[in-house]
Amino acid sequence: MTAFATVGFPRMMKEQGEIRVFLPNFVQFVASFGATVFIEEGYGSRSGYLFDDYKLGNEAVHMCSHEEAYLRDVVIVLRSPSSEEFGLMRPGTVLLSMLHFPTRPKRVERLGSSGIKAISLDGIVNSQNIRLVENMRAVAWNGLEAAFDVLGGRWLELKRPDGRPIRVLILGAGMVGKHAVEAVTKLGNIERNAEHMIAGGSGAIATTVGRNVTGNPDLMKNLMQEADILVDATQRREPSKPVIPNDWVAWLPEHAIIADLAVDPYLLDGDPPIVRGVEGVPQGNLDQYVFAPDDPAWDQSVPPSIPSKHRRTVVSCYSWPGIHPLACMEHYARQLEPLIEVLMEKGYDDLAVSGGYFERALYRGTLKEWQNSGAYSPRPR
């Protein structure tokens, strides 16, 4: 017997390039617990799916409007709803989404004031603080694929003019950074790397540094002057401070590419404010994730108060896994299934840190746990 009567799957009304949706098999899995599932009209159509692909003759699966999808007991949507969409949900609705509590204090406040029982997918972690719902490999590989694409447009067969290996400097050695090392050694694409080897290319060398190096300007100057690609894979303890000030960007060669894999936002009205890891670079999305130094979108994306005098070509995408949407959503479905099973059986209010493995992980992703953890403190009014 399910703890919830209804589940809604609204479309993500984001940029045109965002076509990710949960796939038919996952929707049928959710329906198998006895809940009635409501899918927004047009869900999956940009990926070639029809409503019949989701329904599969199942009387528990229904089509609905955008607003109606948000009126369900549980709402499942990959990227966070907008502030207006939060207003469509009733108090007590359970929302599963990538909500990023640590860097979205206003979102946390809005969820709390709206009475929404949120579970942040990116906050679902095991006892070692390892995320259970993530696609860090796709972040690294897709971002590096884009960076090497740009560099390949400048150097035929990705061969440096001097014949040396391509030099890539990676900031950060966490989950994204580790995958970035592997992606660099394969030039961001396994097929491309095979062709590169056949053509006699010299490959690429990855150098990875952490906080004990990035805080040393002299060391960073030497490293950045040699870099063909600079990769930001940092997870900063102080997101109000950049890792690479804009003045340091001038140390990069003119041909260098900045690969932004962290994709932190500019939230200057926060307390404290949040800035990008590499100061002055734009934040891209699935509609545009390559920014030449003279691209007008640069000035539209970077706040006027942020220094951006020194520029190099940047690849940046808020949703790197969405570059290959089908593989991405199959990946998320595999990770989510055991978590959905626990949620549908136990409900939200009965989740406890003393439960089983997946229950404990779910509990850690809840808004109530974030608010009680001490990491969150509402701003004074």
Q: Give start and end residues of each alpha helix (H) in 128-269.
A: 136-152, 175-185, 190-198, 211-214, 217-225, 246-249
187 and 283 together in one domain:
yes
Q: Is residue 58 part of a domain?
A: yes
The DSSP string of 246-314 is: HHHHTTS-TT-EEEE-S----BTTSSS-B--SBTT-----SS--EE-TT-HHHHHHS-TTS---S--EE
113 and 223 together in one domain:
no
Q: How does pLDDT run across 18-54, given as a tens digit for each residue?
A: 999 999 999 999 999 999 999 999 999 999 999 999 9
Q: What percent of the chain has pLDDT over 90?
A: 87
305 and 335 together in one domain:
no
Per DSSP (E only), the strands in 74-156 are 74-79, 94-98, 117-120
67 and 178 together in one domain:
no
Q: How does pLDDT run across 105-115, given as a tens digit for each residue?
A: 889 999 999 99
158 and 298 together in one domain:
yes
Structural domains counted in the chain = 2
Distance (Å, rounded) from C-alpha 194 to C-alpha 103? 39
309 and 366 together in one domain:
no
Q: In terms of DSSP bridges, do strands 166-171 and 117-120 run parallel, antiparallel, or are they unpaired?
A: unpaired
Distance (Å, rounded) from C-alpha 91 to C-alpha 372? 19
| pLDDT for 171 beyond 80 | yes
CB 332 within 8 A of CB 98: no
207 and 305 together in one domain:
yes
Helix (H) or strand (E) holding 339: helix 325-346
- State both tokens at 13: 């009304």
Q: Is residue 378 part of a domain?
A: no
Other C-beta atoms closer than 10 Å to the C-beta of 222 total 11
Residue in the structure block whose two tokens are 């949706």:
21
- State both tokens at 335: 């990770």
Q: Which residues span the domain enclosing 162?
A: 136-318
pLDDT band at 240 (very low <50, low <70, confident <90, very high): confident
CB 78 within 8 A of CB 333: no
Q: How does pLDDT run across 182-194, given as a tens digit for each residue?
A: 999 999 999 999 9
Q: How does pLDDT run across 261-296, given as a tens digit for each residue?
A: 998 888 888 777 889 999 999 999 999 999 999 999
Q: In terms of DSSP bridges, do strands 74-79 and 257-260 run parallel, antiparallel, or are they unpaired?
A: unpaired
pLDDT band at 249 (very low <50, low <70, confident <90, very high): very high
Q: How does pLDDT run across 52-95, given as a tens digit for each residue?
A: 999 999 999 999 999 999 999 999 999 999 999 999 999 999 99
225 and 352 together in one domain:
no
pLDDT band at 374 (very low <50, low <70, confident <90, very high): low
Q: How does pLDDT run across 299-336, given as a tens digit for each residue?
A: 888 999 999 999 999 999 999 999 999 999 999 999 99
Q: Find the CATH number of the domain harbouring 363.
A: 3.40.50.720
End-to-end CA distance of the chain: 43
Whole-number pLDDT of residue 378: 43
The mean pLDDT value of the chain amounts to 94
283 and 331 together in one domain:
no
142 and 194 together in one domain:
yes
| pLDDT for 377 beyond 60 | no
